[in-house]
Structure 1
Amino acid sequence: MSIPQLLHPRNVHQGRYDFNALCAAVPKLAAFVSKNPNGEATIDFADKEAVLLLNQALLAKYYHVKFWLLPAGYLCPPIPGRADYVHYLADLLGRIFSQLPKGKQIELLDIGTGANCIYPIIANQSYGWHVTGSDIDVVAVRAAATIVAANTALKSSIQIIEQPDTNAIFSGVIGEGQQFHLTMCNPPFFASQAEADAANERKWANLGKAAEGKGRNFAGQQHELWCDGGELAFIRQMITESQLFKPQVCWFSSLVSQQKHLPPLQKLLRSVGVVQSEVIEMRQGNKISRILAWSFLTVEQQRQRFGATDNDS
């Protein structure tokens, strides 16, 4: 499979997958590699095991992760697109620094980190940031914590915590006086299971396997895929709750999958007194997604509170 050429310039997943290198990283992947009609190496992206092994190989080769397993039925995300979100956040934060922000002094909070722990892994291994991942699902928390503990490259730099209140997002996760340079979230996209199932069947049809449309090649638990009101309701709650932590976060952010959700979300941002907001568009082939970022601080306040000056090196 060819990775779209519109990935972020610092994304290491440009061009086609190098299956020779990936199979060297995870030899079991070789059994699932075949040739497409053009004679190019690929895998069957409808095969759950093949997708899992591909992710293991990508994480081993590019992110120094030697152990990565998921509980059955949990989301197995495509890594190149996840990396883009991290790189665009680095650009956003970099505006208040004289260069790209790197090192463990940068604190990132990943809301809904999932059993896969993908965002913390990419952020830590790409930039050296210290990452806190939170989730309401105790199985996901344990799985992500196991991944961190099993990999020497991660265990001193990633913390996984359980969100104790299933009705809260930041409350119960951000402690009194605690500061984060960035927060990120890939919210539940769908408003119901019916919506998720219909979209899944369309995806299987696009893969040429409509008859298999009741399964998910990337899996996903209910709370990973849908919630009442879908992503619009979830991000609205996130924005509303972010007011409680105005001085403690430099930039809040969330993915927004549907363009039509941006106007009501931007209206809400204005109503709660946000000082800065950004919409960052990400293109991966024909797919377009967006990062909505907001801050209650001016640039000068961000520099003062988060230690960035024009002379930072």
Structure 2
Amino acid sequence: MALNKYMHPRNIYRTPPDFGKLSQMYSEFSAISKVDVTGKITIDFKDPHSLRVLTKCLLKSDFNLDVDIPKDRLVPTLPLRLNYILWLEDLLDAIQRKDEISGLDIGTGACAIYPLLAAVQNKWNMVGTETDEESFSKAEENIQKNNLQELIKLKKNLTKSIISHVFTQDNKQDFDFCMCNPPFYSNLQELCESRSPARLPPKNGFTGSPQELITEGGELAFCRQLITESQEHKDNVLIFTTMVGHKYNLNVLIQVLKSEHIKHTHTEFCQGRVTRWGLAWTFKDYDLYNLVPPRDKPRKKHTPTIYLLPELANCENTTEAALNKINEMLDKLNISHKLLDKRGNKVTLDIVANTNTWSNQRRKRRLQKRIELCTKVPKLDPDKDVTENTSVNGDQVDGVSNSSDIPVLPKVIESQEELSEKNCHEYAEGSAHTSNNQPLVHAFFKLVKKENNILLEIEYLDGSAGKEGLHQIVQYIKNNWK
């Protein structure tokens, strides 16, 4: 379903562009457009060249910007970029900042699209940072081409920091806001496998270079670092913001901010078939959540699943005791877990399962017993006839004796070593590991004490095993709680 109606209310692209008018105004656009059987003028959205021409013509017609978009760089989606700018306007208006606004754009890209839009729309003073040499040079050209050098400055980032390199002893500049469109993915495989097969195919073609789309640890690690650096420079920026590409990462980052008691808010950026999210936080005395409440398009409301945990024997009925028990079981299942928040009678865990270690527990126990049994059986000499006398525990056994002291051997279709190796492999393997960087299950566990009851609230975030995988983990916890 197209999400245009959920765009920011002031976004001019809530009304789709008039392709007929663009075709008349720009010969370059006319060359890529075509007329369908109904007389409607369309373009091939899957063709990167067509996307570049469309974006270039829209920037010229709607903002009087002359922008050169390199063939090997990301083609900015204007409705999305404008959504971000308009949300920043809302945030600044809420804290009553209206004049001489200054902003920091992290990773400005070859088009320097955010500084250009901010400068022509609002006359904001912008600083754009960039790590890639080619993108930096092209951004300088686009700024000069539009005579916006007075409003836009560029700074090359030669460090591993995200914003710390901006605030040096020689540069004491402060900003009203920072903004960022971070790389979403940690590697090429994650990029290629990021879209669920259940979703409709993307309407637009693929554009962008690896340095624009990929960063070590993906966007989650990038945004975590940004939050860490923001704490070091809380006096230099009024409002920190970033775009987030994956909803489950937004949920994790919100929990990080909550655990640090940092005031924050968030929003949705909707356009076409794509949804992105905006996250803002501040260390100043602004209640962003109430000043600019989260803006989500209407959807089916998520109702968390809540379980009542029975009281544990021989210990107090507290969230601390329940947390220790759950940590113990998660460790046993080799499921990684991190404490995100712990306040009063409420505890939040971030859990990530990369391998299915919870299924077929009875089968695995049987296999383990077989392994233990096989290790106690004496090795058979393959060169000897099985009917020859064999000594077991010091007793003489004649051939296939029925002595009760002798374990029943498996069928001799496999050697003892082969059987043990096979069973060990089956036991250790459990279930296939996730085939890409996406975990099997990523979720929040929340322990809450209400009256004298301990409740386990689960919130599914993501994972190739789906919600069913999460419920299987919870079922294991319920089965083994006592």
- Which residue in 1 is equivalent to 2:87? 88
Task: Give the partner amino acid of 1:243.
Answer: Q
Select 1:234's aligned residue among 200, 222, 234: 222
Structure 1 position 177 matched with structure 2 position 172: yes
Q: CA deviation at 1:157?
A: 1.1
CA distances 1:18-40 after superposition (whole Å, capped 9, x unpaired): 12332354321101111346542
Q: C-alpha distance in 1, partners of 2:237/2:180? A: 14
CA contact (8 A) 1:253 1:294 kept: yes
Contact 1:279/1:292 (CA < 8 Å) preserved in 2?
Answer: yes
1:162 counterpart residue number: 156
Let me know the Cα RMSD of the aligned residues.
2.6
CA distance in 2, matches of 1:296, 1:270: 13
For 1:217 and 1:288, how far apart are their aligned partners in 2?
16
C-alpha offsets along residues 255-276 of structure 1, whole Å, 9 cap, x if unaligned?
11222123331232234452x2
Aligned residue for 1:73? Answer: 72
Distance 2:286 2:124 in 1: 21
Q: Which residue of 1 aligns with 2:345?
A: none
The 4+ residue runs of structure 1 with deviation greater than 4 A are 199-202
Contact 1:25 1:60 in 2 (8 A): no
CA distance in structure 2 between the aligned counterparts of 1:112 and 1:78, rounded to whole angstroms: 16
SS at the partner of 1:70? coil
Deviation by residue 1:83-126 (Cα, 9 ceiling, x = unmatched): 101101110111011xx83x5x1001110111021111111122
Match of 2:116 among 101, 114, 121: 121
Which residue is equivalent to 1:311? none
For the structure 1 residues 10 and 243, does the alpha-carbon distance in structure 2 shift closer, same or farther, using more than 3 Å as the test? same
Q: Which residue of 2 aligns with 1:303?
A: none
Give the structure 2 partner of residue 225 of structure 1: 213
Per-residue CA distance 1:39-97 (angstroms, 9 max, x = gap): 4222101112211111111110111112x213331111211111101101110111011
Say whether residues 1:28 and 2:21 are aligned partners.
Answer: no
Q: What's the CA shift for 1:197?
A: 2.4
Partner-residue secondary structure (3-state), 1:246: coil
C-alpha spacing 1:40/1:139, structure 2 compared with 1 (3 Å)? same
Aligned length: 284
Answering whether residue 278 of structure 2 is matched by residue 291 of structure 1, we say yes
For normalisation by structure 1, the TM-score amounts to: 0.83
Find the aligned partners of 1:197 and 1:37 in 2 and give their Cα distance. Answer: 34
Displacement of 1:230 in angstroms is: 0.9
CA–CA distance in 2 between the matches of 1:253 and 1:14?
A: 24
**3-state SS of 1:255 partner:** strand
Aligned position for 1:213:
none
- 2:63 corresponds in structure 1 to 63
**What CA deviation, in whole Å up to 9, does each residue of 1:281-308 have, x standing for no partner?**
22224432211100011139xxxxxxxx
Consecutive unaligned residues of structure 1, counting only runs of 5 or more, are 209-215, 301-313
Give SS of 1:251's match. strand
List aligned pairs for 1:1-313, cutoff 5 A: 4-36=4-36, 38-66=38-66, 68-97=67-96, 101=98, 105-152=100-147, 154-165=148-159, 167-175=160-168, 176-199=171-194, 206=201, 217-274=205-262, 276-299=263-286
CA contact (8 A) 1:240 1:272 kept: no
Secondary structure of 2:270's match?
Answer: strand
2:131 maps to a residue whose letter is I
State the Cα distance separating 1:223 from its structure 2 match. 2.0
CA contact (8 A) 1:26 1:53 kept: no
CA distance in 2 between counterparts of 1:193 and 1:69 reads 26
1:13 offset after TM fit, Å? 1.7
Q: Is the 8 A contact 1:3 1:15 kept in 2?
A: no
Q: Which amino acid aligns with 1:163?
A: N
Range 9-18 or range 241-250, more displaced: 9-18
